[in-house]
Amino acid sequence: MESISGLRTFVSHVAVKKYRNGLIVLGALLISIFGRWELRIPADFTILAGNEYTVRAGTSGMLTEIPAREGVFVHKGDLLARTTDYEKLSQVEKISGELQQRKNTLERLRTGPLPVEIKPLEDRIAAKKVELENVRRNQQERSRLEEVLAQRKKELQGLQDIARSKKEGVDAGVFAPIQYQIAQNDVEVKERQVGEAEAAIKAFNESADRDEDLRTRELTSLQSDLALVKAGNRPELIRETQAEVDTLQTLLTTLQEEISKSEIRAPIDGTVATPFPERMLNQKLAAGGEFVRLVDTAGVSAELLVPEKEMDDVKPGNVVWLTPRTLSDQDFQGRVDFIAPVVQTVNGQKVFAVRTQLSNENGALKPDTTGVARIYCGKRRIIDLMTRRVRRWLNTDLLNFLP
């Protein structure tokens, strides 16, 4: 009887357990069918700057001042650097002088010649001719220096002959070596004297030629001015001079506009992203050359790479939660506002670029920062979530194996 009672108890336990498991399975099935859960699609993301601008030089020049520093926020219009083009500055100075001279000439032509203008010019021309004649008379000094050089060369030749004979005598054992050494020392001294005389002639020639050229140009300029003054106010001469003034003025304005571009200013509000821009100090920067890169970090966007197999459920407006790897204890929220129209291949996988705008007023999100995002695509039946990949495989990949 006891064994029968135990068997009944065992059967009763088995039956209870069977019904309990069945209820559990039934409950799980009902929950999976009627219960709903949020579909979340994970994806890697990269933070992109809201706006990025490469600042380039407006004109060529040497970087002489660089206030810009890496990581510093600048406002639109702030000075980033200043360049100096010494060649343009020299041209401006030269053209300004020529322009002023032509303007003075034009003014004289319009007012006509006056005796008080002619007499000083004639006196200056006469004085300049005297100066030029004095420079040419200095040829006597050149002749004297040439005579000294010729005399020293002649003496050098004689000393060289003596040294050569002494050398032969030393080789023959007739003279002592000291006699040849003394003769050779005399030759070296005279050679130095010859070199000094030649250098003196060269310096004199250069100075005389330079002085003569300068006086000649000055005389030509004065004679030209006098000719213009005496020519009076002929209309054709006035027109020619006016054309020269206009040409010089245009050229001067163009150069001044180029020089005004020497200040490199921020075109947008942003943060300097170029490392160590101050190290470019005293370097030459060509017109259009890249100086620094500015990024706007106040408003950034995150670019998510979503596998193409998951794109059926991703729609504009989906909520996105992002966790940067550098800020693993913080989450940022956004919404899908852009889906790339074409697929791209990354690391051998077909993906779509999905972007979402993010607020970054405190600057916590840095451009090129990476992390993991979760796209919330709405609630689905739990059974659909559990079988969605299997159903996708049946609808796509399995078809390749069917006849």
Q: Are residues 174 and 285 in the same domain?
A: no
Q: Tell me which residue range forms the domain holding 284.
A: 36-83+263-393
The amino acid sitting at 221 is S
- 228/15: higher pLDDT: 228
Q: Domain end: 182, 212, 231, which one?
A: 231
Q: What is the structure's pLDDT at 349?
A: 86
Q: How confident is the model at residue 276 (pLDDT cuts 50, 70, 90)?
A: very high
Task: Establish if 20 belongs to a structural domain.
Answer: no
Please say if the pLDDT value at position 29 is more than 70: no
Looking at every residue in the chain, the average pLDDT score rounds to 78
Q: What is the structure's pLDDT at 117?
A: 66
Please say if the pLDDT value at position 9 is more than 70: no
Q: What is the structure's pLDDT at 195?
A: 82
- 31/48: higher pLDDT: 48
Structure-derived torsion over alpha carbons of residues 79, 274, 367, 327, reported in degrees to the nearest 10: -100
Task: Establish if 22 belongs to a structural domain.
Answer: no
Q: Are residues 279 and 386 in the same domain?
A: yes
Task: Output the pTM of the full model.
Answer: 0.44
Alpha helical stretches, state H, 78-114: 86-111
Q: Are residues 267 and 377 in the same domain?
A: yes
Phi, psi of 318 (to 5 degrees): -60, 140
Task: Establish if 242 belongs to a structural domain.
Answer: no
Task: Establish if 1 belongs to a structural domain.
Answer: no
Instruction: Give the contacts of 256 (CB within 8 A, at least 6 positions apart).
Output: 92
Q: Are residues 282 and 226 in the same domain?
A: no
**Pairwise CA distance, residues 310 & 375, whole Å:** 10
Structure-derived torsion over alpha carbons of residues 234, 237, 242, 245, reported in degrees to the nearest 10: -140
Are 259 and 92 contacting, i.e. CB atoms less than 8 angstroms apart? yes
Q: Are residues 138 and 192 in the same domain?
A: yes
Q: How confident is the model at residue 14 (pLDDT cuts 50, 70, 90)?
A: low
Which of 35-44, 266-275, 280-289, 389-398 shows the lowest per-residue confidence on average (mean pLDDT)? Answer: 389-398
Task: Establish if 374 belongs to a structural domain.
Answer: yes
**Pairwise CA distance, residues 277 & 271, whole Å:** 13
Number of domains into which the chain is organized: 2
- Which residue is listed with tokens 């150069």? 255
Cα Rg of the chain (Å, integer):
48
- Domain with 292 in it: what CATH number? 2.40.30.170
Phi, psi of 68 (to 5 degrees): -65, 140
Task: Establish if 5 belongs to a structural domain.
Answer: no
Q: What is the structure's pLDDT at 114?
A: 63
Please say if the pLDDT value at position 348 is more than 80: yes
Q: What is the structure's pLDDT at 53?
A: 82
Long-range contacts: 336-339, Cβ < 8 Å, 24+?
336/375, 339/311, 339/314
Mean pLDDT of 19-35: 61
Task: Establish if 50 belongs to a structural domain.
Answer: yes
Structure-derived torsion over alpha carbons of residues 233, 234, 238, 239, reported in degrees to the nearest 10: 160
- 366/206: higher pLDDT: 366
Q: Are residues 215 and 269 in the same domain?
A: no
Task: Establish if 143 belongs to a structural domain.
Answer: yes
Are 139 and 219 contacting, i.e. CB atoms less than 8 angstroms apart? no
The amino acid sitting at 194 is V
Please say if the pLDDT value at position 5 is more than 70: no
Q: Are residues 53 and 161 in the same domain?
A: no
Q: How confident is the model at residue 392 (pLDDT cuts 50, 70, 90)?
A: low
* Bridge partners, 73 (sequence order): 271
